[in-house]
Amino acid sequence: MLLHDDINTAAKLIVEGRLVAFPTETVYGLGADAFNARAVARIFEIKQRPSFDPLIVHIASLDDMSLLTSDNDPRIHQLANAFWPGPLTLVLNRTDRVPDIVTSGLPTVAVRMPGHPVALELIKKAKRPIAAPSANKFGKISPTSAEHVRKHLPEVDFILDAGHTTIGIESTIVRLHETGFQILRHGAVTMQQIEQLIPNAQLASQNEPVAAPGMLKTHYSPDKPLYLADNPIVPKLNKQKCGLLSFTGHNTQGYHAVVLMTESLDLKEYAVKMFAAMHHMQDNPDIDYIVAEPVPEKGIGMAIMDRLRKAADKYTSPDSIQ
Ligand code: TXA
Ligand code: MG
């Protein structure tokens, strides 16, 4: 099969220190051999990513963990058993083997076993962990298809194309503390799911400030202003120049383009389509602004609103985007 041959080619390129974009269940990643500092440096170059923003290291088997961390907290195994392979990233104390450039010099490394067969086969064939951020320019919209990567990161050596991703939003990032855990980035694995496994979770998650170096206020931004609307939606804008990302299907009149993100108020469906809809609006020459309707902040809705707020951060009032 073609994809199978492509995975062999991609694995060989990783071993040679080249960069490969590959699908995960969340978004496409831009991968390099995690132990090859030069290859990893090229990720930062191509993404135009600041060196203070560390990468996630992807593994295909729990055996790979000992290369990256000597942490042995039983809660790590609980979480790994429950959510790996899948959209959960754990921040762990790192071994000396992990190059500084991967962790931006931090004493910790972010690790995840992705839940996509192509990603897992790539890592297994390359026989090494793969460091990979999302395959987009820094601060821009994340890629949920190979097409997005091709368009926005044409410098990549090779792109493994396995169609659209199935979750559509980046992994949940978790840091364990003595008394519980802290969510550094919301994703498809929810706080409630983690709390079911780890006692006293709320203590740490409520009391400690969020601290992930890459978690800037502005992120995931389209090249056009994005306004996160309150209901009723933005009366001041010229709606003919606007594209609407609609959640409820209400108040859609007058917009130049409307994407109904879900037929049945399904937040998971919204997450799958979110970045693709932003790409679509960004690429439409007749649209000057994007308006997004807020979604309820429950389950994956927390992760969706986190991304929408960051995408919209620069445009906080209708006046600011006239
Ligand atoms: O779903 C995902 O997580 C995707 C796919 C490709 O796996 N990856 C992804 O990577 O979203 P990226 O680089 O776009 O976001 C990773 C974030 C960084 O912005 C950083 O804040 C955080 O992970 N991170 C990485 N290492 C960390 C560390 N040691 N401590 C705290 N945060 C860390
Ligand atoms: Mg990213």
CA 168 / ligand 1 centre spacing (Å) = 15
Check whether residue 32 and residue 165 sit in a common domain: yes
Per-residue model confidence (pLDDT) at position 2: 67
Per-residue model confidence (pLDDT) at position 154: 96
Check whether residue 22 and residue 125 sit in a common domain: yes
Check whether residue 165 and residue 280 sit in a common domain: no
Write out the DSSP string of 266-310: -HHHHHHHHHHHHHHHHH-TT--EEEE-----STTHHHHHHHHHH
Which one of 56, 145, 172, 175 would you pick to mutate in the ligand 1 pocket, going by the greatest count of ligand atoms within 8 A of its CB? 56
Is any ligand 1 atom within 6 A of the Cβ of residue 184?
yes
Which one of 55, 111, 175, 177 would you pick to mutate in the ligand 1 pocket, going by the greatest count of ligand atoms within 8 A of its CB? 55
* CATH number of the domain enclosing 135: 3.90.870.10
CA 133 / ligand 2 centre spacing (Å) = 6
CA 228 / ligand 1 centre spacing (Å) = 24
Check whether residue 136 and residue 236 sit in a common domain: no
Cα distances from 101 to residues 97, 120, 178, 219, in angstroms, run: 11, 23, 27, 21
Going by CA atoms, what residue is nearest to atom 21 of ligand 1?
214
* CATH number of the domain enclosing 315: 3.40.50.11030
CA pair distance 166, 116, nearest whole angstrom? 9
Q: What is the pTM of this model?
A: 0.93
Cα distances from 246 to residues 214, 224, 230, 273, in angstroms, run: 28, 17, 12, 11
Does 178 reside within a domain? no
Check whether residue 49 and residue 164 sit in a common domain: yes
Closest among 271, 49, 293 to 164, alpha carbons compared: 271
Going by CA atoms, what residue is nearest to atom 19 of ligand 1?
214
Going by CA atoms, what residue is nearest to atom 13 of ligand 1?
133
Count of C-beta atoms within a 10 Å radius of residue 122 = 28
Is any ligand 1 atom within 6 A of the Cβ of residue 141?
no
Q: What residues contact residue 245 under an 8 Å CB cut-off, 6+ apart?
A: 259, 261, 274, 277, 278, 281, 290, 291, 292, 293
Cα distances from 239 to residues 127, 246, 312, in angstroms, run: 52, 14, 17
The string over 3-19, giving b where at least 16 C-beta atoms fall within 10 Å of a residue's C-beta and e elsewhere, is: eeebbeebbebbeeebb
> Residue 44 burial by CB count (10 A; 0-12/13-18/19+): exposed, middle or buried?
middle
Per-residue model confidence (pLDDT) at position 215: 65
Q: Which residues of the chain have pLDDT under 70?
A: 1-2, 199-216, 231-235, 314-322
Does 214 reside within a domain? no
Is any ligand 1 atom within 6 A of the Cβ of residue 89?
yes
Per-residue model confidence (pLDDT) at position 315: 65
Counting from 1 in the atom list of ligand 1, the atom nearest the Cα of 55 is: 25
Domain end, chosen from 138, 153, 170, is at 170
CA pair distance 53, 105, nearest whole angstrom? 10
Per-residue model confidence (pLDDT) at position 265: 97
Beta strands at 130-132 and 56-58: parallel, antiparallel or unpaired? antiparallel
CA pair distance 148, 28, nearest whole angstrom? 9
CA 139 / ligand 2 centre spacing (Å) = 7
Per-residue model confidence (pLDDT) at position 220: 81
Residues whose Cβ atom is located within 5 A of ion ligand 2? 134
For 50, the domain range is 4-170
Domain end, chosen from 170, 204, 239, is at 170
CA 264 / ligand 1 centre spacing (Å) = 31
Does 28 reside within a domain? yes
